[in-house]
A and B are shown apart, each in its own frame.
Chain A
Amino acid sequence: MTKHTVRTPMPGTFYRKPGPDQPVYKNQGEAVRNGEVIGLVEVMKTYFEVKSDRDGARIHFLVDDAEAVDGDQVIAEIEVS
């Protein structure tokens, strides 16, 4: 098993859900597919989707919802088989 990392394209605020009252895109440990949205990064009031670029058995988020991130920071690790 290898670990693949997902990085944010820009600095800003990372969100794990599409809206404050909505469920998270992905739970800790959930499987993800290539191209699936795993979160949003808000940069100057503009939202960018963060997508997984691999299929994976489990995703582990390293950043909490609504937390500040630097550009290119690792957001999550994906276990790929």
Chain B
Amino acid sequence: MPIRSLFVANRGEIALRIIRSARELGIKTILGHSAADAESLPVRLADTAIEIGPGPAAKSYLNAERVVRLASESGADAIHPGYGFLAENADFVDGVERAGLTFVGPSAESIRLMGDKAKAREIAREVGIATVPGSEGTLSGLEEAQALAEKVGYPVMIKAVSGGGGKGIRTVCNPTELAKDLPQAQAEAKAAFGDGGVYLEKVIQGARHLEVQLLGDGFDVIHLHERDCSLQRRRQKIWEEAPATGLPASVMEKLHKTAVELARRVNYRSAGTIEFLYDPDRAEFYFIEMNTRIQVEHPTTELVAGLDLVGEMLRISGGERLRFRQDEIDIRGHAIEVRLNAEDPDRQFLPQPGVIEDVRVPGGLGVRFDSHIFPGYRIPPFYDSLIGKLIVLGDNRSHALDRLQRALHELSITGVKTTAGLFEDLVSSPEVRSGDYHTKWLEPWLAARGR
């Protein structure tokens, strides 16, 4: 049954993004917002807005029970979770469905399968996708660790089994360092996560982060090509491109094919992304994880593929089958997205909660600005620092870089410090120009820039 009324369980630019697609499809929107977001742009643009709780996310956007209850009472027939918050919470999906509402996303079962790191790796191996070489599960001790490290080759990372978000990771380059750091890593993991279990993973030098955008309807899955998100700081993407460039066509083809196979294996429904680490020296890719939601960087794919991913999500959840066959998907040009964060890049990316004084929004051909800010907007301190995304489409990568440079020149945000200036430096750096970068390139570049 087509969705007629949609509860948007998110905030900021993604809430706005969802409201836009819904409106174009004639779907009424009800936004659930926190008290801190009462004056926000999504509140003004949704058909109806309901306060779901106070500022801190745990009491509002993360309060699954309350979100389901208020959505149900609002008369909505579906909930779009956006990204973050409750988007990949399988129990929330169960709650939504128990209340008789439609969850705009995959089934709870898909989320459970792909959200469990060990299970997801197992499914990946079943369909013949390599995972990053290392230990299968918890290490028994130093002897096993040293034997394994010798086999896969140094350097290796020691990671906490119960860790996440880049925490509790150590890199060692030889057996002596491994012997010294292993017990420390175990003690740290025990203190931080209550579980001293650690595992070992090979460090892929000069790796690129590639990800394949997928769209499924529960019966069939197609891919919308890939993105390159190798520019990262502390494992957070700040710059994304579609498509990836400078990689062999045969590798790309295999990447797409395996991603589709993996998603088919879990009867994937809705938009999703499979992330890989690519080793250019060996022309091999390794499975990292699947994100069972719309991603921040989805507009790059939308621009090159010429379709509305959020709109397709809403249609699929409304019971439609995929509207495109794989051979109807064609990408054209090159897109780049930069994430505008309210952080001071000159002071260790210190968060900048505060009031936006003025905004000059870039425009012109091939420029898209997805943002919820406006002059006088107060950025609440409770959520992530993303205040907008600047996305450009060019005929090719070089053209896209020129267009990005031009758009950044037009962009001005005053009142708080943002990462915009950082991108002006990045876009003119020789390595970014030539595409000669990898996942570990940005941090040393930032350190050098600070000096």
Q: Are the CB atoms of B353 and A10 closer together than 8 Å? A: yes
A43 on interface, CB distance cutoff 8 Å: yes
Q: Select one of A42, A45, A71 contacting B385, CB under 8 A.
A: A45
**Nearest-CB distance from A42 to chain B (Å)?**
8
Contact of B353 among A12, A21, A66, A67 (CB under 8 A): A12
Minimum Cβ distance to chain A for residue B195 (Å): 12
Is the CB–CB distance between B382 and A68 below 8 Å? yes
* Interface 9-mer from B51-59, B279-287, B364-372, B396-404: B51-59
B234 to chain A, nearest CB (A): 11
**CB-CB under 8 A for A44 and B56, given A10-B351, A10-B353, A12-B353:** no
A5 within 8 A of B: no
Interface hits, A11-64 → B, CB 8 Å: 11-13, 21, 42-46
Known contacts being A43-B381, A44-B351, A44-B353, is A68 close to B342, with CB within 8 Å? no
A11-B381 contact given A44-B342, A44-B351, CB 8 Å threshold = yes
CA distance A44 to B385 in the complex (A): 6
Whether A68 pairs with B55 at a CB distance below 8 angstroms is yes
Provide the main secondary structure of the chain B interface.
Answer: loop
Q: Which interface residue of B36, B59, B381 has the most chain A CB atoms within 10 A? A: B381
Which of B56, B194, B343, B384 touches A13 (beta carbons < 8 Å)? B56
Residues of A within 8 A of B219 (CB): none
Q: Give the CA-CA distance A10 to B194 in the complex, in Å.
A: 30
Q: Is B55 a contact partner of A44 (Cβ separation < 8 A)? A: no
Distance to closest chain A CB from B227 (angstroms): 23
Q: Which residue in B59, B342, B351 is a CB contact (below 8 Å) of A66? A: B59
How many B residues are at the interface, by size bracket? Answer: 10 to 19
Whole-angstrom distance between the alpha carbons of A11 and B385 in the complex? 14
Give chain A residues whose Cβ lies under 8 Å from the Cβ of B350.
Answer: 46
Residues of A within 8 A of B (CB-CB), count: 14
In the complex with contacts A12-B353, A44-B342, A67-B381 CB distance below 8 A: no
Give the distance in Å from the alpha carbon of A26 to the alpha carbon of B132 in the complex.
43
Report if B445 contacts A (CB, 8 A). no
Contacts of B351 in A (CB 8 A): 10, 43-44, 46
User: Could you say which residues of chain A place their CB within 8 Å of the CB of B384?
Assistant: 44-45
Complex Cα gap A10–B54 (Å):
18
CB proximity to A under 8 Å, residues B339-391: 342-343, 350-351, 353, 381-385
A–B pairs, 21, beta carbons within 8 Å: A10-B351, A12-B353, A12-B382, A13-B381, A13-B382, A21-B194, A42-B381, A42-B382, A43-B353, A44-B342, A44-B351, A44-B353, A44-B382, A44-B383, A44-B385, A45-B383, A46-B350, A46-B351, A67-B56, A68-B382, A71-B353
Contact across chains for B59 and A12 when beta carbons are under 8 A apart:
no
Task: State the 3 A-B residue pairs at the shortest beta-carbon distance, nearest first.
Answer: A44-B351, A12-B381, A44-B385
For the complex, what is the distance from the CA of A45 to the CA of B351, rounded to whole Å?
Answer: 9
User: B59 contacts A10, CB within 8 Å?
Assistant: no
Residues of A with C-beta under 8 A to B194: 21
A21 surroundings in chain B (CB, below 8 A): 194
Instruction: Indicate whether A44 sits within 8 Å of B381 (C-beta atoms), given known contacts A10-B351, A10-B353, A11-B353.
Output: yes
The chain A residue with its CB closest to the CB of B165 is A45
Chain A nearest Cβ from B354, distance in angstroms:
9
CB distance from B373 to the nearest CB of A (A): 14
Residue of B nearest to A69 (CB): B381
The reply to whether B56 and A68 form a contact with Cβ atoms under 8 Å apart is: yes
Q: Which residues of A contact B385 (CB under 8 A)?
A: 44-45
A12 to B381, CA, bound (A): 5
Q: Which residue of chain A has the shortest Cβ distance to B384 in the bound complex?
A: A45
- In the docked arrangement, what's the CA distance between A44 and B194, Å? 25
Residues 83-142 of B at the A interface (beta carbon under 8 Å): none
Interface residues of A in 66-81 (CB under 8 A from B): 66-68, 71
**Known A11-B353, A12-B353; 7 more pairs at CB < 8 Å:** A43-B351, A43-B353, A44-B385, A67-B56, A68-B36, A68-B54, A68-B382
Please report the C-alpha to C-alpha distance between residue A12 and residue B351 in the assembled complex, in whole angstroms.
11
